[in-house]
Structure 1
Amino acid sequence: MNTTRRGLLAAAGGLAGASLLGRAAAAQSFPFRPNQRYPDPAVQILDPSFAKYRIFSSTVEQVATGMRWAEGPAYFPDGGYLLCSDIPNNRIMKFNERDGRFTVFREPANYANGNVRDRQGRLVTCEHSVTRRVTRTEKDGTLTVLADRYQGKRLNAPNDVVVRSDETIWFTDPLFGINGEWEGSRATPEQPTTNVYRIGTDGALTAVITDLVNPNGLAFSPDERKLYVVEWRGTPNRSIWSYDVQPDGTVGGKTKLIDAADQGALDGFKVDRDGNLWCGWGSNGALASEPVEMNGRRIYPLRGNPEDLDGVMVFNPQGKALAFIRLPERCANLCFGGPKNNRLYMTSSHSLYALTVEAHGAV
């Protein structure tokens, strides 16, 4: 099912929806303050079926800030904390849910990007540049290298990662971490394609998807029969592809589930217990085709209004847009956490935001 931003605004009520976007943006200017009204107008319902997931008296909160490009959130219930990557600053940050402290967990971190907690409660990290590997942090703090080469050649730039219930580890390997000097160090790729990989319980590394251009976020459906993967450079837009997962760990049945058209851009995402996809959202950075006059200069602005795109888009398992959670910064990734696994944590450019909902993370 192809969903466009134009269609989403229509679903929200046309001009009324656009007006609501403007009011929410005005209410969330910096310095950030939670909206004083309930229900929070930043939570925009695009389909009535989402209403059951909204908590009337819950609002978007900014719980931490000071990063340069926030990514890869992972929640650890035993310790009541969340880890996330601050990629350009080459560090992993730690948010303590119990006392609100935001501290450095690891620095340097080899430009860590995606993080996840495995089934044993250990941290698995995509080291996005320099080392270009996937590691596991053992309970004693030592690092185990899980993957750094495929067929004798170095990986590109491991990006996002998920652990299946059978303890296999799946990760994407685009080029972002070696394309420039912002998220790591520029390097020449050695792999001919940008793949999705599976690390077996025996440590064997297998390329399960090889035909996507810069795969990014990935997640499984609650029953793990579907694998969803973001393609960064889609045809022509960023997309989420759905694959059937076979018992032997291979995938097939490729189907486009979501098309982020009309300036929208997908990034990291998570799935709740009902199979809904909660997706980081923002501008794709595309320039308008014609310049405009501004302060005596002719400039090329971004297409659309990025302020109307920053946040989280929620889709049902069939790819229908259900809701948009408006944020003052572009959301790169998110995860569910909290004592009840219903607190949505959103890594968004410089900051970490949170919203308690009636949905629960699938894992």
Structure 2
Amino acid sequence: MTLFQPESLRRLWTGAEWTEGPLWIPSTGRVRFSDIPNHRIIDVDPASREAVIVTSDSEYTNARAFDARGRLIECSHGRRRVERIVNEATYASESVVDSWNGRRLNSPNDVVVDSSGAIWFTDPPYGIAPEGREGHPGEQEYGGCFVFRYTPATGELAAAITTMRHPNGLAFSPDESRLYVSDTGHAWDTDARGEILVFDIDDGEPIGGTRFACVDVGASDGIKVDGSGRLWSSAGDGVYVFSPDGALVEKLPLPERVSNLCFGGDDGRDLFITATTSLYAVRVNV
């Protein structure tokens, strides 16, 4: 079965420096994403292609998700925290978590929420890099780059995965028995180009960490999993789809470097893709 409908590929919007963190907002029928270096968060209506600047003071916000109560949470590079939007009109936010063992996080990057309500996020150093393109220059205060699990009911923040170089995108399998994490710290290594690791989940804890798949060009950044367990990955030359056993199923070429992607639309069969300066959409058959 062909997964993509390539003839439907269209560019919905362009004009960013680096787009990231797409999320379908069912209540508005719009896609929300970030232009990280320009501090902007943008909503686009796929039908009309109308774009609205949600805020021009985002503090280098990256990925976003809905929590167990349907509230919007985001990863702020600039504020070095996972935060919750408390006022959509003013886009005011409050901290969900910003430190571990008394030391500040690096720059939370991607986030998913599991069925128990636990918030999982990656914490690479891109928002505290010296050049300041995606945040404010700073130090890695806890000395690593971890995947964290935050439990809202208890307020506990646990370092769930501590063995990766720069954990970035993450996604669960449909039954939450596996957690996939991309490692962009290996993106330019000849022996680990665009690496995606898979961890088995045992009683809520990730174990193992074996290579699941690699993209051919650039890095695997943002990733998503569909209802059949296939993994959809960003790459330097488009979108790659891997079967649950890690075999490459299909590839959609794009003219820009892809950072992230999400499913959406009224039937969940629109794939929205953030790629360098632009937001793209394509119909899929799953």
With the length of structure 2 as denominator, give the TM-score of the two structures.
Answer: 0.92
After TM superposition, give the deviation of residue 251 of structure 1 in Å.
Answer: 1.0
SS of structure 1 residue aligned to 2:38: coil
The 8 Å contact of residues 122 and 139 in structure 1, kept in 2 or not, is answered as no
Equivalent residue, structure 1, for 2:81? 133
Residue by residue over 1:48-84, the C-alpha shift from the partner in whole angstroms, topping out at 9 and shown as x without a partner, is xx42x2348x421000111110000011112111110
In the alignment, structure 1 residue 212 sits paired with structure 2 residue 139: no
The 8 Å contact of residues 259 and 276 in structure 2, kept in 1 or not, is answered as yes
* Larger-gyration structure (1/2): 1
Alpha-carbon distance between aligned partners in 1 of 2:260 and 2:218, rounded to the nearest angstrom: 15
Residue by residue over 1:244-280, the C-alpha shift from the partner in whole angstroms, topping out at 9 and shown as x without a partner, is 1122x2110222101335x432110111001111111
Q: Would you tell me which structure has more helix in proportion to its own residues?
A: 1
Alpha-carbon distance between aligned partners in 1 of 2:249 and 2:218, rounded to the nearest angstrom: 16
Tell me the amino acid that sits aligned with residue 16 of structure 2. Answer: M
Structure 1 residues 139, 167: closer, same or farther in 2, change over 3 A? Answer: farther
In the alignment, structure 1 residue 151 sits paired with structure 2 residue 105: no
After TM superposition, give the deviation of residue 98 of structure 1 in Å.
Answer: 4.7
Equivalent residue, structure 1, for 2:136? 185
The 8 Å contact of residues 215 and 240 in structure 2, kept in 1 or not, is answered as no
Residue by residue over 1:10-44, the C-alpha shift from the partner in whole angstroms, topping out at 9 and shown as x without a partner, is xxxxxxxxxxxxxxxxxxxxxxxxxxxxxxxxxxx
Alpha-carbon distance between aligned partners in 2 of 1:74 and 1:157, rounded to the nearest angstrom: 19
Equivalent residue, structure 2, for 1:264? 218
SS of structure 1 residue aligned to 2:141: coil
The 8 Å contact of residues 242 and 256 in structure 1, kept in 2 or not, is answered as yes
In the alignment, structure 1 residue 121 sits paired with structure 2 residue 121: no
**Matching of residues 21-36 of structure 1 within 5 Å:** none
Aligned residues: 278
Alpha-carbon distance between aligned partners in 2 of 1:82 and 1:117, rounded to the nearest angstrom: 13
Residue by residue over 1:269-301, the C-alpha shift from the partner in whole angstroms, topping out at 9 and shown as x without a partner, is 11100111111110xxxxxxxxxxxxxxxxxxx
Q: Please point out which of 276, 279, 286 is paired with 1:349.
A: 276
SS of structure 2 residue aligned to 1:59: strand
Equivalent residue, structure 2, for 1:44? none
SS of structure 2 residue aligned to 1:184: coil
Alpha-carbon distance between aligned partners in 2 of 1:352 and 1:54, rounded to the nearest angstrom: 17
Q: Please point out which of 225, 240, 258 is paired with 2:196.
A: 240
State the superposition RMSD in angstroms. Answer: 1.6
In the alignment, structure 1 residue 275 sits paired with structure 2 residue 229: yes
Tell me the amino acid that sits aligned with residue 105 of structure 1. Answer: V
In the alignment, structure 1 residue 252 sits paired with structure 2 residue 207: yes
The 8 Å contact of residues 215 and 229 in structure 1, kept in 2 or not, is answered as yes
Q: Which runs of 4+ in 1 moved over 3 A?
A: 138-142
The 8 Å contact of residues 76 and 117 in structure 1, kept in 2 or not, is answered as no
After TM superposition, give the deviation of residue 149 of structure 1 in Å.
Answer: 0.5
Equivalent residue, structure 2, for 1:298? none
Residue by residue over 1:205-224, the C-alpha shift from the partner in whole angstroms, topping out at 9 and shown as x without a partner, is 11100110010000000111
Alpha-carbon distance between aligned partners in 2 of 1:226 and 1:348, rounded to the nearest angstrom: 27
Q: Please point out which of 100, 110, 116 is paired with 1:160.
A: 110
Unaligned runs of 5+ in 2: none
After TM superposition, give the deviation of residue 319 of structure 1 in Å.
Answer: 0.8
**Matching of residues 41-56 of structure 1 within 5 Å:** 50-51=1-2, 53-55=3-5
SS of structure 2 residue aligned to 1:264: coil
With the length of structure 1 as denominator, give the TM-score of the two structures.
Answer: 0.73
SS of structure 1 residue aligned to 2:28: coil
SS of structure 2 residue aligned to 1:115: strand
The 8 Å contact of residues 74 and 116 in structure 1, kept in 2 or not, is answered as yes
Q: Would you tell me which structure has more strand in proportion to its own residues?
A: 2
After TM superposition, give the deviation of residue 142 of structure 1 in Å.
Answer: 4.5
The 8 Å contact of residues 128 and 135 in structure 2, kept in 1 or not, is answered as yes
Alpha-carbon distance between aligned partners in 2 of 1:343 and 1:74, rounded to the nearest angstrom: 12
**Matching of residues 102-117 of structure 1 within 5 Å:** 102-117=51-66
